[in-house]
Amino acid sequence: MKPDANLTGLFVPLVTPFTDDLRLAPDALACLAHEALAAGGAHGLVALGTTAEAATLTSEEKQAVVRICSAACRAHGAPLVVGVGTNDTAAAITTLRELAQSGDVTAALVPAPPYTRPGEAGTLAHFTALAEHGGLPLVVYDIPYRTGQSLSNSTLNALGRMPEVVGVKYATGAIDAAAMELLGSSTPGFAVLGGDDAVISPLLAAGAHGGILASANVRTADYAELISLWQRDAAGPARRLGAELARLSAALFAEPNPTVIKGVLYAQGRIPSPAVRLPLLAACGDSVRRAADLATSRTHQAWEADARQPAPPPGATRTSGVQGCDA
């Protein structure tokens, strides 16, 4: 029997705030975590994903990020998913066991082994070993443009039948026949979570259970509302809001993730610096300004009226500095 990982709705893969001299900014991270779960209405958080620049964090920093996100999730009764990205199966098992011992992690988000490209048989063996020996439920991360390898529906369905595999972050870059087949044949207890921000609305319309969306670091409440609208079959307002948020997502991904997102969060006074670590470079001012304009525009009157719902809470557009956080 699969564990109840409660993988529906919006999961926010948090950025990792830095100071101008590239030190971890723990207070700002705590603020972002609490804001996403409280005013933002996110269902859960993802720590140490790609958006968190996990590849450039030290072991001590990774532990601090997980502690901070765990505390926020405990306070709000929310699930926490932690990214575990490596092409070393034995190392991944060790990391999973360490996370499992904490008792605060709901599941691990694990991509197909990047760079190595072991083929589907090797990938299936990799995930089987993690499932059998890691001690933690797994969310498979299917993102071929980062891993260099696609996962067929037969492989995903085989993984979905494993008791320890509770979902997939589906970020193939396309909504095609394979996506429709996956959404129509998914195993009970195996959640399909959209991971391509710009096309999350049509994926939700086709039956996805929710999304892990980097863009939801900005306008969190609106992304949560988008998922809720599709779950309530409010197709008209969902399409309008989805189109608006697709424009925001395109602007936020105009430069490598999470550089523009950090620029916008800094402009909003929510993190102390837009700094990112090499090999990333900070986003240019024009990209940040275009995204910031979309991040503060709220043309939601039409979908709000059609859905007959109250407006998203004021905290969704909070722009106060990190010093004002009540975390």
The set of catalytic residues is: 141, 169
As beta bridge partners, residue 83 has: 109
Hey, what's the torsion of the CAs at 93, 94, 96, 101, to 10 degrees?
A: 140
Count CA within 13 A, CB hemisphere, residue 90.
0
Residue with tokens 């710009």: 198
Tell me how many degrees the CA angle 136-110-142 measures, rounded to the nearest 5. Answer: 135
Q: CA 127, CA 159: separation in Å to the nearest integer? A: 8
Q: Among 273, 244, 242, 245, which residue's Cα sits nearest to residue 259?
A: 273
